[in-house]
A and B are shown apart, each in its own frame.
Chain A
Amino acid sequence: MLTIAETDFTSRLFVGTGKFSSAAVMERAITASESEMVTVALRRVDLENPDDDIMTHLDREKVRFLPNTSGARNAEEAIRLARLARAAAGTRWLKLEVTPDPRTLLPDPVDTLKATEQLVKEDFIVLPYMNADPILALRLQDAGAAAVMPLGAPIGTNMGIQTALQIAIIIEQARVPVVVDAGIGAPSHAARAMEMGADAVLVNTAIAVAGDPVRMATAFKQAVQGGRTAFEARLGTRSSSARASSPQRGQIGEPLDFIEE
């Protein structure tokens, strides 16, 4: 069971709500994914409007609504958006995104840390989107982030887990859950992140732009479950040379004849 900020999640698949052909397709895809955490860009919704297209297609009984600050260029903008979201939607949960470069949408490490420090002080549950930098993950964790969300590859690229080495270090070191976010373009990518020991993955583009988003959502659900089970079952190790499946005794090692029995 995944626990973030004392909240339990059965599903380890988080989904995004952008890029779908319609809110109705989005809703069916979310249902098929069995996700319990759905992130929504604050800039895309009108929280004051009870008939908002996206919000009316989200069943907040079934999924946790995770507003995100997509579009914020610096800490100040992100903090302002976060406060508005809390006031309008009544949630302390926040996916913090600070992306000054509109081309790559890569997160700004300095302002992400600054905003996290401030928002934690204001009692938000902060899940920061971050580059796969292990020290930054630790700094964000120490600042009070409820989870960290390192990227597998730049957002929307569908490139998979390009940052595997750093993500493995983050997973090994972190005290808070690690959610691999961005770059996951296929169920196999999600499965790989889960096999590595990620606590969850967040997928948006790969579901939203698939030929059949609803069936793709099912595929991601299965991949995440399979990857997690594989992690818990412990994968065998890789070897560059062939290894007998029934090993022989008497392999060599260091001579230890200096030891007195």
Chain B
Amino acid sequence: MQSSFSIGDFSALSRKIRATTRAEVETALGGKTCTLDDLAALLSPAAEEFLPMMAARSRELTALRFGKTTQIFAPLYLSNFCINRCAYCGFAADNRIPRRKLTIDEARQEADILKKRGFDHVLLVTGEAPAKAGVDYLEEVVLCLRDQFAALSIEVQPMEEHEYARLFRAGVTAVAVYQETYDRTIYDQVHLAGKKMDYDYRLATPARAAAAGMREIGIGSLLGLADWRAEGLALGTHLSWLRKQFWQTNFTVSFPRLRPAAGAFEPLVQVSEKNLSQLMFALRIFDPDVGLILSTREEARFRDGMLGLAPTRYSAGSCTDPGGYSSDNHEGEQFSVGDHRTIDEVCQVIVNKGLDPVCKDWDREFQMH
């Protein structure tokens, strides 16, 4: 049914965005609909002086579509084994960190802690090591945890459609798989070994997961690798293509900024908070229905300021190492977080902003097979 997706020349996206005039930004901001050309305009340097207006439009659209709410979730790291060598990632195969894969009992212990803290949506995370933490293992974990939580999603190695279908039947609701960068040249430069070196296989993964019936697909770019403006346009292009192909699927977008991690990788480009906020406002104006995630990678001050403006989903109290919730030693973490507050503290700020922190927005009964 689907043709395959490709992004074309990444540098052409950058050039297109940078050629934007002030008038084009005004057109994009004032329009009833927002095309990909408008998105390019909103991502441009020319749009920077309009940032407060973009924020206002973004807030309006976010409230219209999602109401005065912010969803809350937590990641649960199951394994940090990884066959890839990604220059920026703490889990990279050549990093000397303690490696661990949780047993089913250990996973349950971590889950119990998250449940007690009030989380009902949990994102299961692994490095990419199918031999250690493959479909069989993930299915076992999901079958064990699904009765406890309203929704389980996964951020693991890319899989085949039939594998996603199997995990969907087991109770997985959503799949997050980030391209990291849509710039093929940079992609090749930072993915040094492992299956992740295959740009095209990864690019086709969201469509495979959607075709398998997953209710929600998350895409994203890791900011700090290539031109963030062009990443934004590439994400918008990918998103609108996916929407055309899979009109029954929900979509989310993440914009993780590079954080300090084992391996001491320096970002290839700087992305400021101002840049990140422009990116989020632009994506919101482009697609009022898309879920936007702002994780604990960002600092509390910035996360608090952004509440209600564009993001719809926050993680809270995150540990990024397997077993991190039951231990004080976080040596094997993927990256160090920027917001160390507990779920209760984060929820209190959300309430103070006049928003409702939503912990349950799905029900496992939808997927009982």
Residues on A lying within 8 angstroms of B by beta carbon are 138, 142, 172-173, 175, 234, 236-239, 247, 249, 251-256, 258-261
Contacts and interface: CB of A to CB of B under 8 A. Distances in A.
Given A173-B244, A237-B32, A247-B26, A261 B56 contact: no
Pick the 5 closest A-B CB pairs, nearest first: A253-B52, A258-B305, A254-B55, A253-B53, A253-B56
Contact of A259 (B243, B247, B305): B305
- How extensive is the interface on chain B, given as a class? 20 to 34
B247 A256 contact: no
B309 interface: yes
Interface in B1-44: 1, 26-27, 30-33
Interface string B304-346: 1110010000000000000000000000000000000000000
A252 B52 contact: yes
Nearest to B241: A175
B31 A237 contact: yes
Contacts of B54: 253
B362 interface: no
B272 interface: yes
Contacts of A255: 52
B106 interface: no
B196 interface: no
Most chain-B Cβ atoms within 10 A of its Cβ — which of A238, A239, A249, A258?
Answer: A258
Interface in B211-263: 243-245, 247
A117 to B, nearest CB: 14
A195 B325 CA distance: 56
A249 B22 CA distance: 11
11 contacts: A172-B33, A237-B30, A239-B30, A249-B49, A251-B53, A252-B53, A253-B54, A253-B55, A256-B55, A256-B277, A256-B305
A254 B52 contact: yes
Contacts of A173: 243-244, 247
Interface string B294-306: 0000000110111
Nearest to B2: A175
A170 to B, nearest CB: 11
Most chain-A Cβ atoms within 10 A of its Cβ — which of B52, B245, B277?
Answer: B52
Nearest to A134: B247
A252 B57 CA distance: 11
B364 to A, nearest CB: 26
Interface of B: 1, 26-27, 30-33, 49-56, 59, 243-245, 247, 272-274, 277, 301-302, 304-306, 309
A67 to B, nearest CB: 27
A253 B51 contact: yes
Contacts of A260: 272-273, 301-302
A251 B306 CA distance: 21
A188 B96 CA distance: 71
B172 to A, nearest CB: 24
B244 A175 contact: yes
A111 B6 CA distance: 37
B301 A258 contact: yes
B61 to A, nearest CB: 13
A261 B243 CA distance: 34
Contacts of A249: 49
Given A142-B1, A175-B244, A254 B274 contact: no
B20 to A, nearest CB: 15
A236 B247 CA distance: 29
A173 to B, nearest CB: 6
Nearest to B32: A237
Nearest to B35: A234
A239 B30 CA distance: 9
Contacts of A256: 51-52, 55, 274, 277, 305
A259 B26 contact: no
Contacts of A234: 27
Contacts of B50: 253
A259 B53 CA distance: 15
A192 to B, nearest CB: 15
A258 B244 contact: no
Given A253-B53, A253-B54, A254-B56, A259 B274 contact: yes
A247 B27 CA distance: 12
A259 B30 contact: no
Contact of B302 (A236, A239, A258): A258
Contacts of B30: 237, 239
Contacts of B309: 254
A255 B55 CA distance: 9
Nearest to A247: B26
Contacts of A258: 301-302, 304-306
Contacts of B55: 253-254, 256
A236 B277 CA distance: 27
